[in-house]
Amino acid sequence: MLGKIGQLLQPDLALEGSILRLTPELIAYHQLKGLILDVDETLVSFKQSQPDEAVCQWLQQLQSSKISVVLVSNNVSHSRISQIAATLDVPLFYIAAGKPSRRKLREAVAAMKLSHHEIAMVGDRLFTDVLGGNRLGLFTVLVEPMVGPVAASSPKEYLRNAEIWISQRLGVVLSNHDRH
Protein backbone atom coordinates (compact mmCIF):
# COMPACT_ATOMS: atom_id res chain seq x y z
CA MET A 1 0.00 0.00 0.00
CA LEU A 2 1.39 3.36 -1.05
CA GLY A 3 1.68 6.13 1.51
CA LYS A 4 0.59 9.68 0.69
CA ILE A 5 3.99 10.64 -0.76
CA GLY A 6 4.13 7.45 -2.82
CA GLN A 7 0.63 8.14 -4.19
CA LEU A 8 1.70 11.61 -5.30
CA LEU A 9 4.68 10.13 -7.17
CA GLN A 10 2.72 7.29 -8.81
CA PRO A 11 2.03 8.03 -12.48
CA ASP A 12 -1.29 6.87 -13.89
CA LEU A 13 0.62 5.57 -16.89
CA ALA A 14 4.35 4.81 -17.17
CA LEU A 15 5.49 4.28 -20.74
CA GLU A 16 8.59 2.38 -21.72
CA GLY A 17 10.15 4.66 -24.29
CA SER A 18 9.83 8.28 -25.33
CA ILE A 19 6.73 10.42 -25.64
CA LEU A 20 6.27 8.96 -29.12
CA ARG A 21 4.83 5.87 -27.36
CA LEU A 22 1.84 7.99 -26.24
CA THR A 23 -0.39 7.08 -29.18
CA PRO A 24 -3.73 8.57 -30.18
CA GLU A 25 -5.25 5.18 -29.28
CA LEU A 26 -3.86 5.38 -25.71
CA ILE A 27 -5.09 8.96 -25.40
CA ALA A 28 -8.58 7.94 -26.59
CA TYR A 29 -8.59 4.87 -24.31
CA HIS A 30 -8.04 7.13 -21.30
CA GLN A 31 -10.64 9.63 -22.57
CA LEU A 32 -8.14 12.47 -22.63
CA LYS A 33 -8.84 15.65 -24.59
CA GLY A 34 -5.84 17.73 -23.56
CA LEU A 35 -2.14 17.30 -22.87
CA ILE A 36 0.13 19.49 -20.79
CA LEU A 37 3.59 18.64 -22.06
CA ASP A 38 6.92 19.15 -20.36
CA VAL A 39 9.56 20.32 -22.86
CA ASP A 40 13.17 19.56 -21.91
CA GLU A 41 13.95 15.85 -22.13
CA THR A 42 10.26 15.09 -22.81
CA LEU A 43 9.89 16.66 -26.27
CA VAL A 44 13.44 17.79 -26.95
CA SER A 45 16.81 16.64 -25.68
CA PHE A 46 18.32 19.40 -23.55
CA LYS A 47 21.24 19.56 -25.99
CA GLN A 48 18.94 20.22 -28.96
CA SER A 49 17.43 23.57 -29.84
CA GLN A 50 14.56 22.08 -31.86
CA PRO A 51 12.42 18.94 -31.73
CA ASP A 52 13.23 16.25 -34.24
CA GLU A 53 10.94 15.44 -37.15
CA ALA A 54 9.37 12.42 -35.42
CA VAL A 55 8.18 14.59 -32.51
CA CYS A 56 6.80 17.21 -34.93
CA GLN A 57 4.85 14.54 -36.83
CA TRP A 58 3.61 12.95 -33.59
CA LEU A 59 2.25 16.27 -32.35
CA GLN A 60 0.68 17.15 -35.72
CA GLN A 61 -1.16 13.83 -35.61
CA LEU A 62 -2.51 14.59 -32.13
CA GLN A 63 -3.52 18.13 -33.01
CA SER A 64 -5.35 16.87 -36.12
CA SER A 65 -7.27 14.59 -33.71
CA LYS A 66 -8.42 17.75 -31.88
CA ILE A 67 -6.25 17.13 -28.79
CA SER A 68 -5.48 20.42 -27.01
CA VAL A 69 -1.80 20.91 -26.20
CA VAL A 70 -0.06 23.35 -23.87
CA LEU A 71 3.65 23.37 -23.04
CA VAL A 72 4.64 23.92 -19.40
CA SER A 73 8.37 24.04 -18.71
CA ASN A 74 10.56 24.73 -15.72
CA ASN A 75 13.08 26.19 -18.18
CA VAL A 76 13.48 29.95 -17.73
CA SER A 77 14.58 30.66 -21.32
CA HIS A 78 11.68 32.35 -23.10
CA SER A 79 13.59 32.28 -26.41
CA ARG A 80 14.23 28.51 -26.20
CA ILE A 81 10.71 27.48 -25.23
CA SER A 82 8.98 29.97 -27.57
CA GLN A 83 11.09 28.72 -30.49
CA ILE A 84 10.21 25.09 -29.71
CA ALA A 85 6.52 26.00 -29.30
CA ALA A 86 6.54 27.82 -32.66
CA THR A 87 8.18 24.85 -34.40
CA LEU A 88 5.54 22.53 -32.93
CA ASP A 89 2.72 24.99 -33.73
CA VAL A 90 1.68 25.16 -30.08
CA PRO A 91 0.42 28.70 -29.40
CA LEU A 92 0.26 28.49 -25.60
CA PHE A 93 3.28 27.81 -23.41
CA TYR A 94 4.51 28.63 -19.93
CA ILE A 95 8.12 28.98 -18.80
CA ALA A 96 9.67 29.04 -15.32
CA ALA A 97 6.78 26.91 -14.04
CA GLY A 98 8.59 25.72 -10.93
CA LYS A 99 6.92 22.29 -11.10
CA PRO A 100 5.80 20.61 -8.89
CA SER A 101 4.21 24.00 -8.14
CA ARG A 102 0.62 24.01 -9.37
CA ARG A 103 0.39 27.70 -10.29
CA LYS A 104 1.24 27.56 -14.01
CA LEU A 105 -0.32 24.11 -14.36
CA ARG A 106 -3.60 25.64 -13.10
CA GLU A 107 -3.26 28.41 -15.70
CA ALA A 108 -2.75 25.82 -18.44
CA VAL A 109 -5.80 23.84 -17.27
CA ALA A 110 -7.95 26.99 -17.19
CA ALA A 111 -6.82 27.96 -20.69
CA MET A 112 -7.76 24.52 -22.04
CA LYS A 113 -11.34 24.81 -20.72
CA LEU A 114 -11.43 21.07 -19.98
CA SER A 115 -12.09 19.07 -16.81
CA HIS A 116 -9.06 17.93 -14.83
CA HIS A 117 -9.85 14.28 -15.60
CA GLU A 118 -9.69 15.04 -19.35
CA ILE A 119 -6.13 16.42 -19.16
CA ALA A 120 -2.83 14.56 -18.85
CA MET A 121 0.40 16.01 -17.50
CA VAL A 122 3.12 14.30 -19.54
CA GLY A 123 6.78 14.44 -18.60
CA ASP A 124 9.99 12.58 -17.90
CA ARG A 125 10.44 13.45 -14.22
CA LEU A 126 8.67 12.03 -11.18
CA PHE A 127 9.47 14.83 -8.73
CA THR A 128 8.39 17.64 -11.06
CA ASP A 129 5.97 16.48 -13.77
CA VAL A 130 4.20 13.55 -12.10
CA LEU A 131 4.17 15.14 -8.66
CA GLY A 132 2.85 18.46 -10.04
CA GLY A 133 0.19 16.76 -12.14
CA ASN A 134 -0.96 14.50 -9.30
CA ARG A 135 -1.12 17.45 -6.88
CA LEU A 136 -3.61 19.03 -9.28
CA GLY A 137 -5.62 15.86 -9.91
CA LEU A 138 -4.57 15.44 -13.54
CA PHE A 139 -3.98 12.12 -15.29
CA THR A 140 -0.19 11.69 -15.20
CA VAL A 141 2.04 10.05 -17.80
CA LEU A 142 5.71 9.33 -17.22
CA VAL A 143 7.85 8.88 -20.33
CA GLU A 144 11.53 8.11 -20.72
CA PRO A 145 13.66 11.16 -21.48
CA MET A 146 14.78 12.17 -24.96
CA VAL A 147 18.49 12.02 -24.32
CA GLY A 148 21.36 11.96 -26.71
CA PRO A 149 24.23 9.51 -26.17
CA VAL A 150 26.38 12.21 -24.53
CA ALA A 151 23.67 13.07 -22.00
CA ALA A 152 23.18 9.48 -20.82
CA SER A 153 25.71 9.98 -18.03
CA SER A 154 24.81 13.59 -17.26
CA PRO A 155 24.01 14.90 -13.76
CA LYS A 156 20.34 15.19 -14.83
CA GLU A 157 20.28 11.46 -15.64
CA TYR A 158 21.79 10.64 -12.24
CA LEU A 159 19.10 12.80 -10.62
CA ARG A 160 16.35 11.04 -12.55
CA ASN A 161 17.76 7.64 -11.53
CA ALA A 162 17.80 8.79 -7.89
CA GLU A 163 14.16 9.90 -8.20
CA ILE A 164 13.20 6.49 -9.56
CA TRP A 165 15.11 4.66 -6.82
CA ILE A 166 13.52 6.75 -4.04
CA SER A 167 10.03 6.43 -5.51
CA GLN A 168 10.35 2.65 -5.83
CA ARG A 169 11.37 2.49 -2.15
CA LEU A 170 8.09 4.33 -1.45
CA GLY A 171 6.19 1.62 -3.37
CA VAL A 172 5.74 3.37 -6.72
CA VAL A 173 5.41 0.95 -9.64
CA LEU A 174 6.91 2.13 -12.93
CA SER A 175 6.85 -0.84 -15.29
CA ASN A 176 3.98 -1.03 -17.77
CA HIS A 177 1.79 0.49 -15.12
CA ASP A 178 -1.65 1.85 -15.77
CA ARG A 179 -3.68 2.81 -12.68
CA HIS A 180 -6.99 3.07 -14.51
- Kindly report the pTM of this predicted structure: 0.88
pLDDT for res 149: 43
CATH for 35: 3.40.50.1000
Q: Which residues of the chain have pLDDT under 50?
A: 149-151, 179-180
Buried b (16+ CB within 10 A) or exposed e, 150-167: ebeebeeeeebeebbeeb
Cis peptide before 100 (omega within 30 of 0): yes
pLDDT for res 150: 45
Q: Is residue 178 part of a domain?
A: no
pLDDT for res 153: 56
Q: Is residue 19 part of a domain?
A: yes
Q: Is residue 152 part of a domain?
A: yes
DSSP state at residue 165: H
Tens of pLDDT, residue by residue over 150-162, are: 445 566 666 767 7
Q: How many CB atoms lie within 10 A of CB 48?
A: 15
Tens of pLDDT, residue by residue over 13-22, are: 999 889 999 9
